[in-house]
Structures are given as structure tokens and as C-alpha cells.
Structure 1
Amino acid sequence: MSSAPNAKALGHIRVLDLSRVLAGPWCSQNLADLGADVIKIERPGTGDDTRAWGPPYAKDPLGKDTSEAAYYLAANRGKRSVTVDISKPEGQAIIRELAKQSDVVLENYKVGQLKRYGLDYESLKAVKPDLVYCSVTGFGQDGPYAHRAGYDFLIQGMGGLMSVTGERDDLPGGGPQKAGVALCDLMTGMYSTIAILAALTHRDRTGEGQYIDMALLDVQVAMLANMGSNYLHSGKAPKRWGNAHPNIVPYQTFACSDGYIIVATGNDGQYVKFVEAGGRPELAADPRFVTNPLRVQNRDVLVPMLAEMVLTKTRDEWIDLLEAVGVPCGPINDIGEVYQNPQVKAREMVVDVPHPVAGSMKLVRSPMRLSATPADASVAPPMLGQHTDAILRDLLGHSDADIATLRERGIL
């Protein structure tokens, strides 16, 4: 193990993070939240691409923009930043030194790129035999697409998500739609986190490290969930249903007199309570609608009647009525409303953390709630190269003169 255990769940783990943008950094941020020492390797001068993906940027105490893009801040809390030019032999040597002191290496370079630098799994395994090494790519390390660049938007389309996301083709606005966040990147980061933790558990039991091959397309296919299963068991490709559900009715959005509401009746009893609350009990007794399979079969008849019913009341009136009788429902909040939600506030999902330039900044805390080893979101994402000198000096034993020489030569 790389360091003495502490009170954090992964306080004994060091992660050498060669990834950038979102999927890899999302994974390493999870590990940092759980206490791992994550050393983020960045290009001298520019760093992670997302540092420049603004506006918006964090603001300093005077309200002026800093150099810290909000996109970068979303995926890099709790890490330490070291700038190293890995295209140069001296930089590669530093990475090998750091790998020797680490438990995990995480990277998202194109297939074969790090092998040219002697930083692939086999090369680093030679200096750290029990290393856990995780590669994140668009299509994986083998197969006909392995050398293609993979981007979340492309994978959402290629992997089927956009075929089931968006309004129905026969309705206004119908057509494929990507998710509002880079869902495939984020899920790949989550799956990578799980795979790394599994590999570390295996290492702790056996002393054996291993290689992890994570692909965005694999993740997208896996996360089709019931949609993928529907196809495998019917032979029919699912279609887009907009905000409706292919297998449950009513399970969708409805327009109220002043906005929209989500109604999610998961069983026949909830459906009965819904229509009774709306003053239409005859819709519960109608033989066309008494069971969910019948409601699915007759959705084109039922849904317009439900839509007319819902329009008679305001959003808040419906929420009060349906919550009182146990029918799942809720508003469609914009993100500003999300952060004002009393439940979000009660769960303290937003935290203020100190920052060397901004003074303080707001971050979203980890949703992982562990009673004995709580996740920690109290350390702001690092400035570019903020920890270079300290890590080279304290962890690798370089002198101040060595560090100054490396910086003068453009290695750091």
C-alpha cells in the first residue's frame, strides 16, 4: 500500500490520473471523494482541456472571472495537480516514478498512444507489479473501431440512446435527441470507479494487479437496460416515446393550468387514485383501462382524456392532491429551482470550499453517504500545476534545484 491508512475509505490508495475531460476525471473524482490521493497529470501551460471550456468561470471575491471554468470544476475536486510533459523522456521518467508510488493508474489516451511513451500497462507493471491500470476509450482496446476517437455525443447516437430519447416521430418536435448531460461519459466514469474498486479488492486478497479495459460504447449498450432487454426478447427495436413510458400508462408529463407535472403511476391502485383525485372516477371503472396492459394498449384513447383532466388544476394543486393519496408525482424544475428545493438544501448537496484565487466556491457534494467513512468534497479542484513542486519534492525526492531545471527545460 502506498501510504498509511487514515479515516477515509480509500485513504490508503493513491491514484495517478492521466485522464482529462469527463469520463476519466469523473471516475477519479469519485475516488478522491472517498479519500484516495489523486494526482492529476496535466500538460504544462494548458492542462486539462476543460479548463478552457467556458464561460462560465468561477469568480474572484471582486466578481471578476478567474481562469477556472465551471466545466472543469464539476469533475476535479479533491485532486492534486502536477504538470508534466509526457512526450519527453524526462517527463516519462517522472510518470514511472509516480506509478511506482501509486496503486492505480487511470488514463484515456487513444489506443496504443501511451505505449509509444513506455507508459502502457505492461511497461508500468514492470515497475509496479500489483498495479491496477484502467484505460478508458470510446470503443475499447480491440475490435474494428478500437482506433476511432470516441465522443459522448457520437456514442449516444451509435449506442442507441438517441433512438429512444426524444418526442415520438408522429408528434410535433419528434426525432432523436441527446441527453442534456454527457450521460455516457458520466456512466463510464461510474462503471470505471466500480471496476477499479473491484480490482483493488482482488489485489488486497491476492497481491495481483490487473488491467481494466473500459469503453464508452460498451457502457452505452449496457445501460440501455430495459430498452435493450425489450429488443432482445421481442426482436423489435424500441421507439421514442418522449416523456411517456413504453410499458406503463400513465407514466409521463402532463400540462397543468400553469406548468407541467410528472405523474408516475406504477400500479393499478395508483391509477385509480389519480383519476379519482381528478374527479374522473369513471376512467378507473372503464373496462378499457382497468389494468396497465389495457391502458398501454389503449393509451391513444386514455391519455387525451387524462390530459384534459390535468389541465383543470395548477401544478401545486395536483402535487398536493396526489401526494395526499400516495400517487408518485413531481414538478419539472429548472436547475436553479433544483438548488432551491428544500430536500436538496436539507441534504446539503451544495458546499462552499476555500479556493486560492476565487476565495471560496460552490461545489456539489458527493451523493455517496457512508456512516463511518463519509465522502469528502471539501477540497476545491486544483489550480494548474498547484502541487507540482510539493509532489516531486516530498513524494519523489527531487531537490528544488532539480525541479527548477526541469521547469526551465519545459518538462514541468
Structure 2
Amino acid sequence: MFGTSRPLEGIKVLAIENFLAGPYCTMWLADAGAEVVKVEPRGMGEMARNTSPLKQDEEGRARSLSLLRANRNKKSVTLDLKNPEGRAVFLELAKESDILVENLRAGAMDKLGLGYDALSKLNPALIYVGISGFGQKNILPSPYMEHPAFDIVGQALSGLMYRPERQDDRPTYLGFSLADIEAGILGAHGATLALIQRGRTGKGQMVDVSLYDACLILNEISVAMFSGEKVKSKPGLHAVTAPFGSYQAKDGYIVIAVLGEHIWQRFCKAVDQPELVDDPRFKDGISRNQANDELTACFAPWLQARTQTEAVSDLIEAGVPASIVNDIDGVFDCPHVKAREMLMTIDDPLWGEVKIVGNPIKMSDVPSVEAKLPPDLGQDTDAVLKSWLGKNEKEISSLRESEAI
């Protein structure tokens, strides 16, 4: 079924990355076959290496569970970018690279003399992916560019924290790194687009991804509704339809997704209330959305008389999208997740067998992704300096003595 090659084989990626957004981006590139080299500070490495939870080996060296999440299939090189010799090695690596990915605060690489302006002169074919809170100075500079930002800032500014259902008017953090993950995906997408364009023009370019922007595109329906209808979407509800959300059955919650009048008619028949089709309170999606509480009361007895499995089975048989609501343990037992290889096992020397999420992009002529361990700090320094730059043992020893690597 599958071929033996990957689409980005032969592509060299240099990564200056911390935590999640940058590492997620380069992990997708590594899964696609690119050779990804993490450039990390001497001694401590990238910040995810020291983020709890941690386990220590017999020699007291800490190993973070966080590192396992987004660093499979990469190599690690240690460099001191403030050391003149270390900086010179970095420039040599950048000259040999196809893609550079960094998710430092906007402008941090410029202060080191290693930003897009400098590197594009050195390597005009370089694709420079900058992931930051509010974007870079080079394309469409934001007045917030200098502000520090983590994932939650993107969720807050984009309006997403007002979308979940909640007990009062307090905005709700979504509980996971949505902005980081989405920005990482967009960074990988932008890098591949730039590769295609470079194939036509021979020129590299900057790809500028903002955490704020990455969240805002996910709130697009609220943007359209507020612009066109001058209304704010109700928390926890779809903006233009109902029933669309989570509902309680006899033994737990299910979701029901009615979108369009043809599915509304199927739903009414499935819950044994065909007369609701002609009820003027529920004449269309907007009306049903506005009368959501009344509508829910109409079919709540039908749900409460059935288990999750029974209710979902009846709805699916009628052609209504529905499912049980999994907590995370349900994901581990889900036959879809197993069939689609969406949980991968990393056998870590300290943590043991750890499940991480797999690659959601399945291709008919590309082999399944392997889950190789994240690299130990600096484990590939010598090998990369030899294979990328042709340095010999004496040159590498000299760099180590000067604490450049």
C-alpha cells in the first residue's frame, strides 16, 4: 500500500525552538522526511527539557515528559550563539539549510545578528519560518510585536475564551495549547508552500506566523456573525443552528450536530417528535439557536430514557451526526484511534512506554511515521558538523575547547 520515500526527504531544517509551537512545526517536517536539527544552548538545552514533570536517572540528570510530545525524529546540536565561534558555526549551518524555524520572541534573532535580513543575504534560497505571539517586523508589523506571549494570550485576544459554555461571565481558558499547536501546523504549511514557490523562483522567503492570528482563524464564525448580524455568539452554542452541542443521556453525555433543515427533519423523526418540524419556534437554525433551552426540553426525555450507545446508534441510523463524549481514557480505547494509528508509543529509558499523538496526515504513497526518541542534548553535534559542514575531528575538538559547542 505504502511507498518507501517521504515528500521532504533531502530537505535540511534548522530549528531554534522552545516549548511547543516551533517544535510542533518541525516535528511535522521531520515526519515528512526532512532532516531536522535542533540547535540548543549548551548545558540546559531548550526549555522543554527542564519543564515538569521530570524524572531523574541514576546520575541525577533530569528527563522531561514534555520533551516527548513534539520532538520525535530530530537531531540535537549544542551551540553557544553568543560565542563568536559558535555564531560562525550557526551561520555555516544556515547557509546549508533549506528551512529555518524559530519561535523566539519577535526580534530576538535580529539582536543576535541572525534574523531573516542577515540570513537571507547569506543564503537567498533560505525559507525562514518565524513563529511568535504577534508576528515579525518584516511583513505586516503589529503594534503588539514587542509584547511577550504564550498560548493563552492568543486564546484571550482572539475571542476564543468567550466561546465555551461556562457558569458565569468569566472567560474560560480552553485547557490545552491550541494556539501553539495551530501555529505549528500553520508554520509547517507555510514552509511547504514556500518550498513549492522556491521550486519556481529559486528564492527563499520569510513565513511569518502569529499565535494571535492562529487563534483568530479558528473563531471565524463569530467574526462573520458579528459583522453580518451584529450579534455575539452564545457561549457553548453553534452560532447559527441547534441542537448542536453536548446533551445528557441516561449514563453520560453525547453530542448532537444538526446543521441544515434536511438533518433537522431526520432528527425530529429520530427522537419520535416529527411535529417539531412544523413548530414555528424552530422554523430554522437561527430560531432554534435562539430557543435552544425550549428545544432541548422537548427531546430531553427521549435522551434520558436511553444510554449513550443507544441514543447515538438511533441518531446515526437516522442520518444525524452524533457521538458519545470521550474523556481521555476513552480515546485510548477508541477503535478509530487504533485503526488510524493516532497514538504512537515512545519507549523512553526513564519514562518507559509513553503514548504521544500520531501524525493526522495519511498519504497513500508515504510510509507510516515511526516514533523515534527525541535526541539527548547535543547527541548529534559531531555527526551534523561532519555531514553538513565537512568538519574534521580536530576542528570539532577545537570548537568544544572554546565552548562554542
TM-score under structure 2 length normalisation: 0.90
Letter in 1 for 2:96: Q
CA offset at residue 129 of structure 1? Answer: 1.7
Give the secondary-structure state (helix, strand or coil) at the position aligned to 1:8: coil
**In 1, are the aligned partners of 2:179 and 2:211 still within 8 Å (CA)?**
yes
Q: Secondary structure at the match of 2:37?
A: strand
Residue 337 (1) aligns with residue 336 (2): no
Give the structure 2 partner of residue 241 of structure 1.
Answer: 235
Q: Which whole-Å CA distance do the structure 1 matches of 2:98 and 2:291 have between them? A: 57
- Among 380, 389, 411, which residue is 2:404 paired with? 411
Question: Which residue number in structure 2 is paired with residue 278 of structure 1?
Answer: 271
1:67-146 matches, cutoff 5 A: 67-141=62-136, 142-146=141-145
Deviation at 1:305, TM superposition (A): 2.3
Contact 1:166-1:175 at 8 Å conserved across structures: no
Quote the Cα distance in structure 1 between the aligned partners of 2:224 and 2:199. 35
**Aligned position for 2:151:** 152
**1:202-213 residue pairs with structure 2 within 5 A?**
202-213=197-208
Q: What aligned pairs does 1:264-275 form with structure 2 within 5 A after superposition?
A: 264-275=257-268
How large is the Cα RMSD of the aligned pairs? Answer: 2.4
Tell whether the 8 Å contact from 2:79 to 2:404 is kept in structure 1 after alignment.
Answer: yes
Shift in Å, 1:357: 6.1
Describe the shift of the 1:73–1:323 C-alpha distance in structure 2 as closer, same or farther (beyond 3 A): same
Q: Distance in 2 between matches of 1:286 and 1:130?
A: 63
Q: Secondary structure at the match of 1:288?
A: helix
Q: Paired residue for 1:183, among 175, 178, 185? A: 178
Give, as a single letter, the amino acid of the residue that structure 1 aligns with 2:212. L
Q: What's the CA shift string for 1:260-291, capped at 9, x where partnerless?
A: 11111223333333343333333344333343
1:372 counterpart letter in structure 2:
D
For residues 276-312 of structure 1, give each alpha carbon's deviation from its aligned partner in whole angstroms, at most 9, with x where no partner exists. Answer: 3333333344333343343234323212222233112
Q: In the alignment, which of 12, 21, 26 is matched to residue 10 of structure 2?
A: 12
Mark the CA change 1:353 to 1:66 in structure 2 (over 3 Å): closer, same or farther: farther
The partner residue of 1:389 within 382, 385, 403 is 382
Q: What is the percentage of aligned positions where both structures have the same residue?
A: 35
Q: CA deviation at 1:371?
A: 1.3
The C-alpha deviation readout for 1:4-48, integer Å capped at 9, x for no partner, is xx9210002111111211111111111111001111111112112
Asked whether the equivalents of residues 365 and 377 of structure 1 are also in contact (C-alpha less than 8 Å), the reply is: no
Q: Distance in 1 between matches of 2:229 and 2:268?
A: 32
CA contact (8 A) 2:238 2:245 kept: yes
Mapping for residues 161-176 of structure 1, pairs under 5 Å: 161-167=160-166, 172-173=167-168, 175-176=170-171
Whether the 8 Å contact between 2:222 and 2:239 is mirrored in structure 1 is no
2:343 to 342, 350, 353: 350
With over 3 angstroms needed to count, the CA separation of the structure-2 counterparts of 1:285 and 1:350, relative to structure 1, is same
The Cα shift of 1:359 comes to 6.9
Tell me the alpha carbon deviations over residues 82-131 of structure 1, each in whole angstroms, 9 at most, x when there is no partner: 11111211111111111111101111222332223221112222321211
- Tell me the number of residue pairs that the alignment of Structure 1 and Structure 2 aligns: 397
> Partners in 2 of 1:110 and 1:321 — Cα distance?
51
Distance 1:127 1:356, change over 3 A: farther
Partner SS state of residue 126, structure 1: helix
Asked if the contact 1:130/1:209 (under 8 Å) is kept, the reply is yes
Q: C-alpha displacement at 1:358, in angstroms?
A: 6.0
Question: What residue identity is the alignment partner of 2:224?
Answer: S
Seen in structure 2, the aligned counterparts of structure 1 residues 97 and 360 have a Cα distance that, compared at 3 Å, is: farther
TM-score, normalising length from structure 1?
0.89
Question: How far apart, CA to CA, are the structure 1 residues paired with 2:282 and 2:216?
Answer: 34
**Counterparts in 2 of 1:235 and 1:265: CA distance versus 1, 3 Å:** closer
Q: Take 1:337 and 1:13, find their aligned partners in 2: how far apart are those partners?
A: 38
- Does residue 322 (structure 1) correspond to residue 321 (structure 2)? The answer is no
Q: Alpha carbons of 1:203 and 1:390: their partners in 2 closer, same or farther (altered >3 Å)?
A: same
Decide which of 210, 213, 221 is 1:215's aligned counterpart. Answer: 210
- The Cα shift of 1:134 comes to 1.4
Structure 1 letter corresponding to 2:106: V
Q: Report if aligned partners of 2:131, 2:208 keep a CA contact under 8 Å in 1.
A: yes
Q: In 1, are the aligned partners of 2:127 and 2:205 still within 8 Å (CA)?
A: yes
2:43 corresponds to which of 19, 42, 45: 45
